Structure 1
Amino acid sequence: MCLGAGYALVTPAAEATVVPGEGPAPKSLPAPRQSTPDALAAALAPGDPATTAEAKADATLLPPQEATTDAIARKAARTAAGSEAAAECNVGDFTSKTGAALVEQIKASETACVNTLFSVTGGDARALFQESQMVTVADAYRDTASAYQGDNSSSITQIVLYLRAGYYVQYGDPDGVGEYGPALKTAVQGGLDAFFDSSRAYDVTEANGETLSESVILIDSAMENARYLDVVKKLLTGYDSSYDEFYWMVNAVNSTYTVVFRGNWVPELIDAVAGDPSLLTVLHDFAAGHKDLIGTDKQFLTTNAGRELGRFLQHDELREAVRPLAGELLDTTSLDDPATAALWVGVAEMTDVYDKENCDFFGTCDLQERVRAAVLPVEHTCADTLEIVAQKLTAEELEQSCASMLGQDEFFHGVARDNGPVADDRNTKLEVVAFDSSLDYQTYAGVIFGIDTNNGGMYLEGDPAQEGNLPRFIAYRAEWAEDFEIWNLNHEYTHYLDGRFNMYGDFEENMRTPTVMWVEGFAEYVSYSYRDLPNEDAIAEAANKTYPLSTLFDTTYENTDTTRTYQWGYLAVRYLIQSHPDDVATLLGHYRTGDWEAARTLLTSTIGNRYDADFAGWLGRCSAGDCGTAAAQ
């Protein structure tokens, strides 16, 4: 069954499951600063649900225990530490300068400031990143790298970030920024050559790791994947346990998989590997030699090696060389062995996508069915409308989960005041899939359900008008929680109820106009209010008064971030339900009939900015502890 569209709560994870798919070969897409190497493949995989309308990913916060091992959380910590610099960062300070003055401005800025340049648009983008500016900065990278001391004392990291930002912005708007040609190619090669030839480039230290990791990603940003395969091989063969105490050194090693992954769409790299297949052996040997990382927070290093080896099966000229190496990894691992299952699944998935006709050779025929049967043996019916499929839940845990969701029905209908399912909605039953941990989710959910797993769970609505369609929420036990909890259970269950009783059509239909404020804000509102929990993050955020209500009406998955999506979505929906219930009733009337333009007119014209001042006042009271009565039924 085609699962169709859906929603995901993205929480940064130690490992990303890549969901490969068929589609046009992408132009080199430099990763934005917030994309971490372990998440990158999932974020950029062509045809991946994370990048298509098949399933839309948004972001929420990680539990504290996981955040300590995640690049996004670390980036947030760095940003918080440099928040004053970021707040004072003025794009005009960069656009007004050229030549040496521009280089000095970059070096004098904090990394948090340079990081903001990934989001510039329009005339600022051209002023910042036109080729002449990029050549100047690439030449500065070369000059600075030639005397590199193994740390950021020369502000080289800011220079690399600026170049990465330029490639990223130019990719998104080549006409606005202008084309990049031979001059920049030569200049960037000079910078990369100087850095990787420097005597301190491979120092195993945290001080070196960040610049090294960013420079490895720059290889891909500049589409120099083939030229620097020796860098990839050196980092993979050089890795040992001494790297593990340095977060950024681990990141640097993992960044090599970005170069390899994206290299599948760089013909020069495929030609280079065909001429010298030693990269294939390096990938195989890394995966085979580091099975001890499976089950740890470094597991992604091993599984990514296996995946990237297997991904080369898509190329006719490489298949004969890859096949025995992938087969050997599968022969020495097992789906039934927790100590090696993650590697087996990763390689098996690549063979299933790129060499399926040889599944007998690999022992991977009927892969999805085999993995599901082995990993999800528990089946429990809560009601005619709800069932749970799980990895290890006890009878008590199953009953608790059922009771939590079924009890939410009455609360939801009391708030939504609906008259039953919307027209043409046949999603009469929901399947909740619960893996035993976030790591199990990352290991198995991708191959079974074809989803990205660098998140905190995913709701797949499918086509609600199709008879027999089965919507599905895929989740996991929150292993860090003191008490049993399926992570995001009530938020995602609200998505199911909201889609069935409030939003006409499927996910793609729901997104025809900006509805994210409602979709995510309402899910947060119901989840917290039903459980009678304070949304402490949102209440703290209210004090900042960052957004007028009228601005939140325009939230889309493309223009938002974690805070705007969840905390501000919650605040906006709670305010409207409590202060303007008649407007909410009118809005939902439009949503239920699929009259998106009428709903849009209500928000942007009828309401417009009329409530902005009152909303600001309410935010002040809420941040002081008086948010009103949440459960407005």
Structure 2
Amino acid sequence: MSPSRLLRLPQLARLLTLVLSLFLAAGLFAPQSQAAPAAATPGGASTPNTPAGPAPQPATGSPERGAGEGKSAPADQRAPLPLDTRPAEVKASTAPTVKSFRLGAAAEQPCAIGDFSGRTGSDLVQHIKAADIQCINSLFQLTGGDARGAFREEQMSTVAYALRDAAASYPGDNSTSVEQLVLFLRAGYFVQWYHKDDVGAYGTALQTAIRSGLDAFFASAHSRDVAAGNAPILGESVTLIDSAQENVRYLPVIKRLLTDYNSGTWNPGGMAWAVNPVFTVLFRGHQVPGFDAAVEADPSVLDALSAFATRNNDLLGGDFGVLVYNASKELARFLKDTALQAKVRPLAKGLVDASAPNGRTVFQWAAVADSVSYYDAANCSYYGTCNAPDRLKAGVLTVNYTCSPSIKLIAQALDSTQLGTACTSLTGQDAFFHSVVKDNGPVKDDTNNTIEVVVFHSSLDYQVLAAAIYKIDTNNGGMYLEGNPAAAGNQPRFLCYEAEWARPSFEIWNLNHEYTHYLDGRFDMYGDFNAGMTTPTVWWVEGFAEYVSYSYRKVDNDAAIAAAGRHTYKLSDLFDTGYGDQDRVYRWGYLAVRYMLEQHRSDMDAVLAKYRVGDWAGARTLLKTTIGTRYDAGFDSWLTACAGGACAGGGTPTIPQLPECAGADTRQLDANCARSNVAATTGNYAHFYLTVPAGTKQVKITTSGGTGNGDLYYNPGGWAYTDANTARSTGPDNSETLTVTNPPAGYVFFSLYAQQGFSGVTVTSEF
């Protein structure tokens, strides 16, 4: 989970030829979970990945596995940034934006880091200008000596002055490579934010230089061109305002863009891409010294925001409605400044009056209502937004469906076929999960025996509406809200959304990742989310959710495999991972978890044993002292093999090999044995029984391998059938598990029903 963000401009697939960097649905190129933890700040729906935050250090990260509804962060620390226009793979925390807004063509020549870190002066400038956009994008990943070589203050100042010189003759397109200069500067601020010790401090020398560059660009006549050539460079330059924390100085530029915007000419020309970053500059401005005072002295930017939202109301419900949402949100956010409330209140009320908690204008209504709830809740009746979460939930989450006794779906727009597909995926994951972690049932004091799955219709709906309804941060790929699993009546839920970029195919983004959080919290992590964060466990929590999601779906984690080839981290360092850098959290978390599960299973079992009883310090000792650096060399070698193809196939857990059951009756199971080569034709059953000794605490039946699809059923009182059972596991293949706690003594019965004719299946019995 994380704070609200810069709303993204939707439907890039349809608009790509006109607007190269308009909204590309979250996660199109990202790993299964691209939850980008960000600063928790009050009031909203989505957190931009725009350049650095004005804070002197990265804001506290907020994970996408959260404590519970309304508990993502204190109200005075949580607020959505304007929704972002950039592809999800470029989003990383609230630090400076990672990568260009534009997709960029593939590099035509190799991109050697030494060409940037080893050059100075005009030699560096000329090389930057000649580089491909994708090459400059790769610099956002620099660390260590490379980061210092490329981005130390002297280098950044040189490039900032080069921007000044180039801007003097800026032609309104990238024929003079202004975009490369701007993007390089953004990369520098981003890397220095995360790796200040590597890069070194930035001071007044760079501030003077960057001001000269931005002053020259925004003074250029062609920076005002309403044209596709100017749009991406203007957008990058507005974002650079925030990277450099010059939000106060360039308020006049922000007002100019808001005032000049014309949907009739700017949207088709790609200029919506350029105006959207102004909302990030405004959001971040509240964290810059002197910003609020500047607005108090000249509140005309508030009138500009109100006029922008009002005259563009007809955009709501369409591809560019996010602009109106962002304007509404950033106007209402100024309610936090008591000196401005008299000015903001009637403007905000006017936006509420022109919208409703459902239908086409719901985003605008939600934007204002959410900010009112944080900054002016006592006066909600003035605005007409009291009980906003309940009204929004009733207005948009109208689909209710029971998947199983433990899984309930609440959705915005799923049809019956889509509901069935989602349910099948969820119910089938249980057996796979248990086969990986080899748990012994729920951890002590965990009563989370049901899960509520909330599915929004798109990433945009999730960013706006989940934030307003559930009071969470939504600059991520989904959110699990665990609550207190020991509390009576606690209802865990996770929030996710349909992947609109995959349409007409149907996919719920992060469905299996978030469901893994639920299962992991119930069977592996004692206590609530905050308890599990007592020591660094992010590497496991997020890495394991990635591992299960990819391996269960039999999908290669291409982004993680590519990261393996970079050898960025030692395994011992990954055990210290916290929320922040999403590449480290998700891709490297996946690699660390996969390595430990597949190469050092006994060590991982020992760590999980500690996690399951809440012995966080004990688990930490195992990881940092007992294991320590012992596996660093092996991990490094494994990364080489992984990048070379050894990690293809998604990763699959190894089911423990047990001896064949000895009884002459092939239907008879016994303690810790297996029946292999089990088969049945479609619509028929393979039946099994076993005798449970008195006092047995648990019986676990697992099926695996073979072809076809067999579903597993349990009945304590007679042969098990699809209509005569007390428990079942019905996944999409033969990977099924049923764990029966405190079974009755005597005969109990299991069967494998051939949903599709199967053969070669192995059935194991453990107790």
Shorter-chain-normalised TM-score: which range? 0.7 to 0.9
Q: Against the structure 1 CA distance between its residues 236 and 551, is the aligned structure 2 distance closer, same or farther, given a 3 Å change threshold?
A: same
Question: 2-side partners of 1:126 and 1:620: how far apart?
Answer: 30
Retained in 2: the 8 A contact 1:307–1:347? yes
Cα distance, 1:311 vs structure 2 = 0.9
Q: CA deviation at 1:306?
A: 0.6
1:223-244 deviation line (CA, Å, top 9, x unaligned): 3323322211222222233332
2:2/2:47 contact within 8 Å kept: no
Q: Which 5+ residue runs of structure 1 have no aligned equivalent? A: 24-36, 58-66
Structure 1 match to 2:481: 460
Who is 1:193 aligned against?
A: 215
Contact kept, 8 Å, 1:522 with 1:573, in 2: the verdict is: yes
Q: CA, structure 1 residues 616+589, in 2 after alignment: closer, same or farther (shift >3 Å)? A: farther
Equivalent residue number for residue 433 of structure 2: 412
Residue 81 of structure 1: aligned partner? 106
**Post-superposition offset of 1:284:** 1.0
Runs of 5+ unmatched residues, structure 2 = 11-22, 27-35, 67-83, 91-98, 657-767
Is the 1:7–1:460 contact (alpha carbons within 8 Å) kept by the matching residues of 2? Answer: no
Q: Which residue of 2 aligns with 1:596?
A: 619
Report the equivalent of 1:294.
316
CA contact (8 A) 2:116 2:127 kept: yes
Describe the superposition over 1:92-113 as per-residue Cα deviations: whole angstroms up to 9, x where unpaired: x445554444433433444444
Residues 19, 446 of structure 1: 8 Å contact kept: no
1:285-434 to 2 correspondences below 5 Å: 285-336=307-358, 338-394=359-415, 397-398=418-419, 401-434=422-455
Task: Summarize the Cα distance change of 1:358–1:186 in structure 2 as closer, same or farther, 3 Å threshold.
Answer: same
> In structure 2, do the counterparts of structure 1 residues 493 and 375 end up closer, same or farther at CA, with 3 Å as the change threshold?
same
Deviation at 1:288, TM superposition (A): 1.4
C-alpha distance in 1 between matches for 2:121 and 2:62: 42
For 1:279, the equivalent position in structure 2 comes to: 301
Q: 1:81: how far off?
A: 0.9
Question: For residue 477 of structure 2, what is the amino acid of its counterpart?
Answer: G
Distance 1:129 1:285 in 2: 40
Aligned to 2:175, what secondary structure does the other structure show? coil
CA distance in 1, matches of 2:632, 2:467: 42
Which range moved further: 461-470 or 119-128?
119-128
- Once the two structures are superposed, the pairs formed by residues 544-623 of structure 1 within 5 Å of their partners are 545-547=565-567, 551=571, 554=574, 556=577, 561-562=582-583, 573=593, 577=597, 581-593=601-613, 594=615, 595-600=618-623, 601=625, 603-605=627-629, 607-610=631-634, 613=637, 616-617=640-641, 620=644, 622=646
Q: CA RMSD in A?
A: 4.2
Asked whether the 8 Å contact 1:6–1:462 carries over to 2, the reply is: no
Amino acid at match of 1:242: T
Share of identical aligned residues, percent?
A: 46
Mapped to 1, the partners of 2:3 and 2:221 lie a distance apart of: 47
Counterpart secondary structure, 2:455: strand
Instruction: State the alpha-carbon separation in 1 of the partners of residues 588 and 375 from structure 2.
Output: 42
CA contact (8 A) 1:89 1:113 kept: no
CA contact (8 A) 2:399 2:414 kept: yes
Whether contact under 8 Å (2:444, 2:526) holds in the other structure is yes
Structure 2 residue 265 is matched with structure 1 residue 242: yes
Residue of structure 2 in register with 1:230 after alignment:
252
**What are the Cα deviations for residues 302-356 of structure 1, in whole angstroms up to 9, with x where unaligned?**
10011111111111222111111111111111113x2211111112211221221
Question: Aligned pair count?
Answer: 595
Secondary structure, aligned partner of 1:40: coil
Asked whether 1:156 is paired with 2:178, we answer yes
**Residues 544 and 523 (structure 1), Cα distance of their counterparts in 2 relative to 1, 3 Å cut:** closer
AA aligned opposite 1:156: V
Query: Which residue does the alignment assign to 2:467?
Result: 446
- 1:599 Cα shift? 3.9
Alignment counterpart, residue 212 of structure 1, candidates 213, 234, 238: 234
- Counterpart AA for 2:608: L
Q: Which has the higher strand share?
A: 2
Contact 1:284 1:325 (8 Å CA) reproduced:
yes
Give TM-score, length-normalised by structure 1: 0.80
Instruction: Specify the alignment match of 1:34 in structure 2.
Output: none
State the distance in 2 between where 1:13 and 1:591 align.
41
Q: Which of these residues, 524, 527, 536, is aligned with residue 502 of structure 1?
A: 524
Q: 1:519 aligns with which of 523, 526, 541?
A: 541
**In 2, Cα distance between the equivalents of 1:261 and 1:559?**
19
Q: Once the 2 structures are TM-superposed, how far is the Cα of residue 413 of structure 1 from its aligned partner? A: 2.0
Contact preservation (8 Å) 2:39, 2:59: no
The answer as to whether partners of 1:550 and 1:604 remain within 8 angstroms in 2 is: no
Q: Distance in 2 between matches of 1:218 and 1:463?
A: 42
CA distance in 1, matches of 2:608, 2:341: 54
- Is the contact between residue 125 and residue 169 of structure 1 (CA under 8 Å) also seen in structure 2? yes
When residues 185 and 473 of structure 1 are mapped into structure 2, their CA distance, relative to the original with a 3 A threshold, is same
Q: Residues 492 and 419 from structure 1, CA distance in 2 versus in 1: closer, same or farther, beyond 3 angstroms?
A: same
